[in-house]
Amino acid sequence: MNLLRPVRTRYAPSPTGFQHIGGLRTALYCYLFAKKHQGTLVLRIEDTDQKRYVAGAEQYILDACQWVGIEFDESPIVGGAFGPYRQSERRHIYKEYIAILLQNGGAYYAFDSAESLEQLRQSHEAAGGSFTYNALNRLQLNNSLTRSADEVAELLRKGADYTVRLKTPEQPEAITFYDQVRGEVTFQSSEIDDKVLYKSDGWPTYHLANVVDDHLMQISHVVRGEEWLSSTPLHVLLYRYFGWSDTMPQFAHLPLLLNPGGRGKLSKRHADQLGFPVFPLAWSNAATSESSNGFREMGFRPAAFTNFLALLGWNDGSEREIFSMDELIAAFDLERVHKAGAKFDFDKAKWFNAQYLKNTPDEILTEDLLHDKQAQGKSRAFLQEAIGMYKDRLTFLHEFWENTTFLFEAPKTYDTEALRKSWKDDTAEHLSQLKNRFEQLPVFDAASVEQCIKDYAAEKNIKMGALMPPLRLALTGIGGGASLPHIAALIERFEVVKRIDNALQNWQNLL
Ligand code: GLU
């Protein structure tokens, strides 16, 4: 790596749709790499394709990045010394740079109509081939290479529609560049077509705008999805034609995210079928009335989601999986990004969330719970105690409410099957005796409740296993859950006694 240059990476999304988690992973890797090298992360909005512009997509990108903790040092919002950061606001710049290529022969005007090109495409396809505008046929087409300078000047003066095309090398050559993920990559110049760089409507295409901006914004590392690998030789040519080869950025193309089965690019359609989202945040598009759920809305914690995302295509060389953002920054390395596509695994995403819940201090989880409507009227101390007992058993925090209704109100129903299983002739007698002992305890905390049950069992020469299940059913209505003495202590003695009484009454009809 050329460490003489300050590291400047950019995330350069096109607001043509809502950002998929693949895009967010690109942003994350750009961020990790920039931070690791005390560099700068730029957000550049590549909105040159106005026909595909989706309102709200830019804000969505900002929101999603903010949710996972990616901060941009320069962006359309925070500004910076290399702005503007929306390509639609930089058209005067592209106009200036396309003029340079037209002048030095790196590009040429093409006047072919869309219909004539379509006809060529069709006739080539009918003959079993495909049509590419390139060095082999451009001298038979309608452009400034085949028309005289006067004719071209006249057409331009009359306002004819045109495109400006890249002039790929006349003599076939190998174009080689180094990719930090893939190593040396070579394309033949004959595989590249004379791509359109600019149009007479004053808009550049992706290729021109992207290269000009990466140069002017002094980007040192281009980190982007693998789908752009085949555009890179074209960009290498552009750097050469502009005379910028010496400061060309280093490239790193990230592996695709694949569907869980490993076949094909991770798609919304496939994910919908399997019941998980491919978007970080939920969205809805008023124009198309489409919508999608998001990881945030499903209850993923941003740090867990970021950790999961970082490991989709990278690891630190060990078995380690849990990393905070700072740890990711310290460990991240482009050279360790995998070449093979990364299979998306929703169960793994949930596993990360469960790990994060386990490792998050009770006070922080309580703070989050207090924002939920179910928390109304509940005491902070009570919730903190309860989440401490339950966090190891949850995948998502919201499951807390579903799994612990009995902490807040007496059970209205009982798991009858479990009850029948644990019921013996003397169960009612044991429960009522235990209740009496609970009433006598000097202190009613988890330890004394537990000791009390143990002592009772020892005295009566019965197993704890004969007492606990019916007692649990009486207090919670269900068969499993956190430690019963802790539950009892949390709901307090008065409630415990009441619930045992209730159960003994209600159960008569159930058994
Ligand atoms: N605007 C392109 C995209 O939407 C950026 C590709 C690149 O990073 O060069 O992904």
pLDDT digits (tens, 9 = 90+) for 177-214: 999 999 999 999 999 999 999 999 999 999 999 999 99
Q: Is 133 helix (H, G, I), strand (E, B) or coil?
A: coil
Residue 5 predicted with pLDDT over 50: yes
Amino acid occupying residue 491: I
Query: Tokens in use for 375?
Result: 């928390």
**pLDDT score at 401:** 97
For the chain, the distance separating the N- and C-terminal CA atoms, rounded to the nearest angstrom, is 75
Q: Kindly give the distance from the C-alpha atom of residue 304 to the centroid of ligand 1, in angstroms, as a whole number.
A: 26
Q: Kindly give the distance from the C-alpha atom of residue 49 to the centroid of ligand 1, in angstroms, as a whole number.
A: 12
51 sits in which H/E element: none
Residue 511 predicted with pLDDT over 80: no
The pLDDT of 489-508, averaged and rounded, is 95
Nearest to 325 by CA among 103, 80, 31: 31
Q: Kindly give the distance from the C-alpha atom of residue 322 to the centroid of ligand 1, in angstroms, as a whole number.
A: 29
Pocket test for ligand 1, best of 19, 217, 224 (most atoms within 8 A of CB): 224
Atom of ligand 1 nearest to the CA of 46: 1
Q: Rounded to an integer, what distance in angstroms lies between the CA atom of residue 237 and that of residue 167?
A: 9
Q: Kindly give the distance from the C-alpha atom of residue 207 to the centroid of ligand 1, in angstroms, as a whole number.
A: 9
Per-residue pLDDT band for 1 (boundaries 50, 70, 90) equals very low
Query: Tokens in use for 306?
Result: 């970021």
Q: What residue owns the CA closest to ligand 1's atom 3?
A: 13
The pLDDT of 418-424, averaged and rounded, is 92
Are 266 and 23 within 8 A, CB to CB?
A: no
Pocket lining: 224 vs ligand 1, CB cutoff 6 Å: yes
421 is catalytic: no
Q: Rounded to an integer, what distance in angstroms lies between the CA atom of residue 381 and that of residue 386?
A: 9
Residues of the chain with pLDDT > 90: what percent?
93
Angle at 176 between CA 173 and CA 182, to 5 degrees: 145
What's the mean pLDDT when you consider all of the chain?
Answer: 96
Phi, psi angles (nearest 5°) of residue 243: 80, 30
Q: Rounded to an integer, what distance in angstroms lies between the CA atom of residue 23 and that of residue 225?
A: 8
Pocket test for ligand 1, best of 26, 210, 222, 265 (most atoms within 8 A of CB): 210
Residue 3 predicted with pLDDT over 60: no
List pLDDT tens digits, range 158-170. Answer: 999 999 999 999 9
CA torsion, ordered 140, 190, 171, 126, to nearest 10 deg: -30
Are 24 and 249 within 8 A, CB to CB?
A: no
Helix, strand, coil percentages (3-state) for the chain, rounded to 5, are 50, 10, 35
Nearest to 259 by CA among 317, 298, 319, 312: 312
Residue 294 CB contacts under 8 Å (≥ 6 apart), including other chains: 277, 279, 280, 281, 282, 283
Nearest to 381 by CA among 395, 399, 369: 369
Q: Kindly give the distance from the C-alpha atom of residue 463 to the centroid of ligand 1, in angstroms, as a whole number.
A: 66
Q: What residue owns the CA closest to ligand 1's atom 2?
A: 13
Q: Kindly give the distance from the C-alpha atom of residue 240 to the centroid of ligand 1, in angstroms, as a whole number.
A: 20
Q: In 10 A of CB 218, how many CB atoms? A: 16
Atom of ligand 1 nearest to the CA of 23: 10
Span of 32-46, 92-106, 188-202, 262-276 with lowest mean pLDDT: 262-276
Q: What residue owns the CA closest to ligand 1's atom 10?
A: 13
- Asked whether the bond before 84 is cis by omega within 30 degrees of 0, the reply is yes
Pocket test for ligand 1, best of 18, 43, 46, 254 (most atoms within 8 A of CB): 46
Residue 500 CB contacts under 8 Å (≥ 6 apart), including other chains: 431, 432, 434, 435, 438, 471, 474, 475
Residue 158 CB contacts under 8 Å (≥ 6 apart), including other chains: none
**How many angstroms separate the Cα of 190 from the Cα of each of 134, 136, 155, 171, 178?**
8, 9, 30, 9, 19
Q: Kindly give the distance from the C-alpha atom of residue 403 to the centroid of ligand 1, in angstroms, as a whole number.
A: 44
**pLDDT score at 288:** 86
Pocket lining: 13 vs ligand 1, CB cutoff 6 Å: yes
Residue 235 predicted with pLDDT over 50: yes
Beta pairing class for 290-292 and 221-225: unpaired
Are 453 and 464 within 8 A, CB to CB?
A: yes
Catalytic one of 268, 343, 378, 460 = 268
**pLDDT score at 168:** 98
**pLDDT score at 261:** 86
Query: Tokens in use for 202?
Result: 């004053």
Are 418 and 510 within 8 A, CB to CB?
A: no
Atom of ligand 1 nearest to the CA of 26: 8
- pTM beyond 0.85: the answer is yes
Are 466 and 426 within 8 A, CB to CB?
A: no
Pocket lining: 14 vs ligand 1, CB cutoff 6 Å: yes
Nearest to 234 by CA among 148, 133, 316, 321: 133
Q: Is 462 helix (H, G, I), strand (E, B) or coil?
A: coil
Nearest to 196 by CA among 170, 163, 167: 163
Pocket lining: 210 vs ligand 1, CB cutoff 6 Å: yes
Q: Which of residues 272 and 203 earns the better pLDDT score?
A: 203
